[in-house]
A and B are shown apart, each in its own frame.
Chain A
Amino acid sequence: MKGKCYIQGMAAISPQPTFEGDIFSAPLVHTDSNLLACIEPDYKPFVPGNSLRRMTRVLKMGLTTALKCLQESGVATPGPIITGTGKGSLQDTERFIKEIEDYKETALNPTPFIQSTYNSVNGLIALQQKCTAYNNTFVHRGFSFENALLDSMMLIQEGEPHTLTGAFEEITAEHFYIKSRIGYWKSESTDSRELYKHLSPGTIAGEGAVFFTLAGTPTQQSYAAISGFKMLYKPVPGKLTATLKNFTTHADLIVTGRNGDSNFEHYYQELDNCFPDTPQLPFKHLCGEYDTAGAFGLWLSAHILKAQQVPQQWFSMFNQLPEHINSILFYNHFYGEQHVMILLERV
C-alpha cells in the first residue's frame, strides 16, 4: 500500500448499543434465535419526518449512521460518498417483487422500486447534505464494503481531503428463511455468547450499518491509521497462509471474523498457525454474519486502538489481552470466498 489513510470519525447501528453512549460500558446484547437484529435509534433528530415516512429500515439505518458519522467528524458536506452493500434494501426488493406477482405486473408502487436499487442510501445522503461530489456504491457480496474502502483509499491517494465510506445490510424473515435452506445458519438454536463453542455447519445471521470518515492526514481525533490492505478471492491452499505471512509487522491483537461455522473454520486455523502467540478477538457474536460484517469489525478495531482498551463486557470469554495495542490485524472472510486483511495502526 502506497500511503496510509486515517479514520477521522465513525458511527454504527448494530445489534449492540453502538449508536449512542459509551461502548465500553454498553451491555452485551445476545440471542438464541440465530439472528442478531439491529437496535434502531430514534431517527427523527436526523431525518425530516416527511422523508422518513417513505424509507424502509435499511435506508433509515444507513442514512442516519452516515449523518451521525459526519456529525462526529465535524464535516458538514461530505466529499466523495462511497458505500458497499451485499443486498441493499431487501424490504423494498421483496415488496416490489411480491407486488409484481399480486398485481400481475400492473399498478406497481414506485417507492419500493426506486428504493430497491442498491445506491438509494448514497442518493439520500447526497440529497440531504446537498453533496454533488463522486458517489458510488459497490455490490460485490462479501467484498462490497472492502471495494468501497479500496476506492476511498485510492481517492485519498489522489488528493481528496476526505471521504464518507460505509456499508449497510439488513436481514428480513424471508431472506433468513431462504439462506437457511442453503445451510447458511446453524440448524440448532445457538446462544450468541457461546457461538465459538458451537463448531457446527452454519453460523448466526446479522445486520448493521457502519460509516467512516476517512482522511489523508491524521488529527488529534483520528481513531486509527489503515496501513495495510489485501483482498483475496477464493484463495487456493497455501495462498492464504503466504498472504497472512506478508503481514509480518507485529500485530498486538488480531480481530477475526470467526463465526463458529465448521465448514470454513480451516481458514481461521491457518490464521492460528501463522500467529500462534498473538491474542485474537472474534466479533461475530456481536453483529452476526452478513456480507458487509467486515465494516463492523473495522469499526470495533478502530475503537479498541483509540481507547487502548477492549469492551470487556463484550468479551468476557477472553481474558488474555495485551496491555498496549499499537497495531491490529483484521482478518475476515465471507463463506470462504472473499477474504480480507487490514492492518490498523495507532495514531
Chain B
Amino acid sequence: MEELKKKLKEQIIEALNLQDTKPADIDDNAPLFGEGLGLDSIDSLELMVLLERQYHIKVEDPREGRKILQSVQSMAEFIQSKQPA
C-alpha cells in the first residue's frame, strides 16, 4: 500500500504538472481539492484519465469519483480494491 501511494503521488505530480511539489509534500489523507493541493474540476478529469491509463480502471459514476478522488489514501484504496487478489 505504501509503495502504491508513493507511486501515485509521483504520477499525480507528473500528470498535473505540479512543478514545485514533491511526493513528500502530499499528505496521504489531505484533501486533494479545495484545501490541500488546491486542485479544481479540470484536475479531477485529469485524475480520472490517470486511473484509466495507468491502472485500467474506468470510473463510470461521477458520484463515485467524488469519493475516490478525496485524497491519495482514498485513491490508493480504490485502486487496490480493483486489483486482482
Contacts and interface: CB of A to CB of B under 8 A. Distances in A.
Contacts of B19: 49, 53
A73 to B, nearest CB: 30
A276 interface: no
Contact of A109 (B18, B20, B38, B46): B46
A95 interface: no
Given A49-B20, A53-B17, A110 B46 contact: yes
Nearest to B51: A107
Contact of A107 (B16, B20, B38, B53): B53
Given A110-B42, A111-B42, A114-B42, A53 B16 contact: yes
A50 interface: yes
Interface of A: 49-50, 53-54, 103, 106-111, 114
A187 to B, nearest CB: 37
A107 B52 contact: yes
Given A53-B16, A53-B18, A54-B17, A110 B52 contact: no
Nearest to A114: B42
18 contacts: A49-B20, A50-B38, A53-B16, A53-B17, A53-B18, A54-B16, A106-B52, A107-B49, A107-B52, A107-B53, A109-B46, A109-B49, A110-B42, A110-B45, A110-B46, A110-B49, A111-B46, A114-B42
B8 to A, nearest CB: 17
Nearest to B37: A50
Contacts, number: 25
Interface of A is mostly: loop
Contacts of A110: 42, 45-46, 49
A108 B52 CA distance: 10
Nearest to A50: B38
A108 B16 CA distance: 14
A32 B22 CA distance: 40
Interface in B30-76: 38, 42, 45-46, 49, 52-53
A54 B17 CA distance: 7
Contacts of A106: 52
Contacts of B45: 110
Contacts of B49: 107-110
Contacts of A108: 49
Contact of A54 (B20, B42, B52): B42
Given A54-B17, A114-B42, 20 more contacts: A49-B20, A50-B38, A53-B16, A53-B17, A53-B18, A53-B19, A54-B16, A54-B42, A103-B53, A106-B52, A107-B52, A107-B53, A108-B49, A109-B46, A109-B49, A110-B42, A110-B45, A110-B46, A111-B42, A111-B46
A89 to B, nearest CB: 15
A50 B20 CA distance: 10
Contacts of A54: 16-17, 42
Most buried by A among B16, B20, B46, B53: B53
Contacts of A103: 53
Nearest to A109: B49
B47 to A, nearest CB: 11
B19 to A, nearest CB: 6
Interface string B4-35: 00000000000011111000000000000000
Nearest to B38: A50
Nearest to A107: B52
B53 to A, nearest CB: 5
B63 to A, nearest CB: 19
Contacts of B53: 103, 107
Contacts of B17: 53-54
A50 B43 CA distance: 11
Chain A to chain B: the 4 pairs with minimum beta-carbon distance, closest first? A107-B52, A53-B17, A110-B45, A107-B53
